């Protein structure tokens, strides 16, 4: 057992995947000697060489486009996009090529590509460094989208994503990279870990279901803890997978609690919360005691960092929504 951060968990997971399969490549900007701007690939180039840990020219479409060719040649590229807001130059390759080639080829060509994106805000950064673009990828058929929230999941989920024969957009809550430590039991194996495309109840409760992923899991757990002091029993679910959604645990929880609040840093309008609310309404209409509520970023561009903590949904905004739901 060892205590690790999310950054270490991801680093160790990448290392394990590269040890297990010589076809796994890491590619991106500054992933070599520097170890990435967040140090997620720290030490990998030293141990696996420049052919497997590839410092790319500064061109995101080039990274994803060449990853397609490498995948066609039998490699499993893990592409690092340096920041969420820099994924858009690669958007065309991701949406028009990576997501569609398996379909276009009627299954003859697989695209086992992982697209790692540090996402979300709260780090005091300049524009384009704090965004949450997940819904744009979840809206794209052919992609799978997951978000880890803690060091242990980071370790297992990155390995599972690399083993997946489909392209996976892998979202990492950047403000959690170096924040909290957790115990990693290295005696466990990948087979013991929860499946990649599964959601998980992370706190049990009976009065209301709080849904979160990535950076909002920590906020929602803190919100549930605070609510408990007011006598409210809140269940928290870490969605983990955004495409496909794993609605089983969500629907079971809402059938029990009758209330749901979906949270994310991304803009509310047409965000993941919109889809999840629709699905809960379709499946649990007669169980609901209140409309499904959403808490998220406002429908503005991400703000200057001095006011980002006011813009981001926090414990109070989550509890406000909890109170509104419980008041129905």
Partner 1 sequence: MSHSHPEAHADLEAGEFGPDLGEVFGPRQADGGPELVQLLTPEGERVEHPEFSFDLDDEAIKGFYRDMVLTRRIDTEATALQRHGELGIWAQLLGQEAAQIGSGRALRPQDYVFPTYREHGVAYTRGIDPLRLLGLFRGVDQGGWDPNEGNFGLYTIVIGAQTLHGTGYAMGLQRDGVVGTGDPDRDAAVVTYFGDGASSQGDVNEAFIFAASYNAPVVFFCQNNQWAISEPIERQTRIPLYQRALGFGFPGVRVDGNDVLATYAVSKAALQRAREGQGPTFVEAYTYRMGAHTTTDDPTRYRLSEDLEHWKLKDPIQRVKVYLTRNGLADQDFFDEIDVEAEKLGEHLREGCKALPEPRILDIFDYVYAEGSPEIDAQREGFAAYLDSFETAGGHR
CB nearer partner 1, residue 67 or residue 171: 67
Q: Pick from 11, 45, 66, 219: which binds partner 1 (CB under 8 A)?
A: 66
Distance between CA atoms of 81 and 56, rounded to whole angstroms?
Answer: 11
In the block, tokens 């809206």 appear at 139
Helices (H), the chain: 6-20, 44-48, 60-72, 91-92, 101-104, 134-138, 151-163, 216-229, 247-257, 272-284, 308-311, 315-326
CB nearer partner 1, residue 111 or residue 280: 111
CB nearer partner 1, residue 108 or residue 306: 108
Q: Pick from 21, 37, 39, 62: which binds partner 1 (CB under 8 A)?
A: 62
As beta bridge partners, residue 145 has 169, 243
Q: Of 305, 294, 303, whose CA–CA distance to 135 is shortest? A: 294
Shortest spacing between CB 17 and partner 1, in angstroms = 17
Mask 147-176, x = binds partner 1 (CB under 8 A)? -----------------xxx----------
Strands 24-28 and 200-203 come out as unpaired
Mask 34-53, x = binds partner 1 (CB under 8 A)? -----------------x--
Residue 128 annotated as catalytic = no
Shortest spacing between CB 173 and partner 1, in angstroms = 24
Shortest spacing between CB 322 and partner 1, in angstroms = 29
Q: Pick from 53, 101, 216, 262: which binds partner 1 (CB under 8 A)?
A: 101
Shortest spacing between CB 144 and partner 1, in angstroms = 7
Going 297 to 93 to 246 to 120, the CA torsion angle's sign is: negative
Shortest spacing between CB 210 and partner 1, in angstroms = 23
Binding flag, residue 245, partner 1 (CB under 8 A): yes
| Buried/exposed code over 19-45 (b: 16+ C-beta within 10 A; e: otherwise) | eeeebbbbbbbbbbeebbbbebbbebb
Task: Single out the catalytic residue among 102, 129, 264, 267.
Answer: 129
Q: Of 292, 299, 272, whose CA–CA distance to 214 is shortest? A: 272
CB nearer partner 1, residue 89 or residue 303: 89
Half-sphere exposure of residue 239, counting CA atoms within 13 Å on the CB side?
31
Q: Which stretch binds partner 1 (CB under 8 A): 13-21, 85-93, 250-258, 259-267?
A: 85-93
The separation between CA 228 and the C-alpha centre of its own chain, rounded to angstroms, equals 27
Binding flag, residue 93, partner 1 (CB under 8 A): yes
The answer to whether the beta carbons of residues 125 and 97 sit under 8 Å apart is: no
Binding flag, residue 61, partner 1 (CB under 8 A): yes
Going 274 to 89 to 99 to 39, the CA torsion angle's sign is: negative
Q: Of 85, 72, 110, 313, whose CA–CA distance to 212 is shortest? A: 313
Q: Which stretch binds partner 1 (CB under 8 A): 68-76, 117-125, 146-154, 221-229?
A: 68-76
**Tokens standing for 214?**
């990535």
Q: Which residues form the catalytic set? A: 129
Residues within the interface to partner 1 (CB under 8 A)? 25, 51, 56-57, 59, 61-62, 64-75, 89, 92-93, 96-97, 101-112, 141-142, 144, 164-166, 243-245
């Amino acid at each position: 057992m060892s205590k690790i951060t999310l950054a270490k968990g991801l680093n160790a997971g990448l290392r394990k995947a590269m040890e297990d399969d010589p076809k796994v490549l890491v590619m991106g900007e500054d992933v070599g000697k520097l170890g990435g701007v967040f140090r997620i690939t720290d030490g990998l180039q030293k141990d696996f060489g420049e052919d497997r840990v590839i410092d790319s020219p500064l061109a995101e479409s080039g990274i994803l486009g060449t990853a397609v060719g490498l995948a066609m040649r039998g490699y499993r590229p893990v592409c690092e996009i340096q920041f969420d807001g820099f994924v858009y130059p690669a958007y065309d390759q991701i949406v028009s090529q990576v997501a569609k080639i398996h379909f276009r080829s009627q299954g003859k060509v697989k695209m086992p590509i992982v697209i790692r994106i540090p996402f979300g805000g709260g780090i005091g950064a300049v524009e384009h460094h704090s965004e949450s673009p997940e819904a744009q990828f979840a809206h794209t058929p052919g992609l799978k989208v997951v978000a880890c929230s803690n060091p242990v999941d980071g370790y297992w989920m990155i390995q599972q994503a690399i083993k997946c024969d489909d392209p996976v957009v892998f979202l990492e809550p950047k403000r959690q990279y170096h924040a909290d430590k957790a115990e990693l039991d290295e005696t466990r194996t990948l087979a013991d870990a929860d499946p990649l495309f599964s959601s998980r109840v992370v706190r049990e409760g009976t009065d209301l279901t709080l849904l979160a992923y990535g950076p909002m899991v920590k906020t929602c757990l803190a919100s549930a803890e605070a609510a408990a002091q007011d006598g409210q029993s809140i269940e928290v679910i870490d969605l983990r997978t955004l495409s496909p959604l794993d609605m089983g645990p969500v629907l079971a929880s809402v059938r029990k609690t009758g209330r749901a609040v979906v949270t994310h840093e991304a803009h509310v309008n047409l965000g993941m919360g919109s889809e999840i609310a629709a699905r809960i309404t379709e499946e649990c209409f007669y169980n609901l005691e209140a409309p499904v509520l959403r808490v998220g970023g406002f429908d503005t561009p991400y703000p200057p960092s001095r006011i980002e903590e006011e813009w981001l949904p926090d414990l109070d905004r989550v509890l406000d929504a909890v109170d509104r739901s419980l008041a129905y």
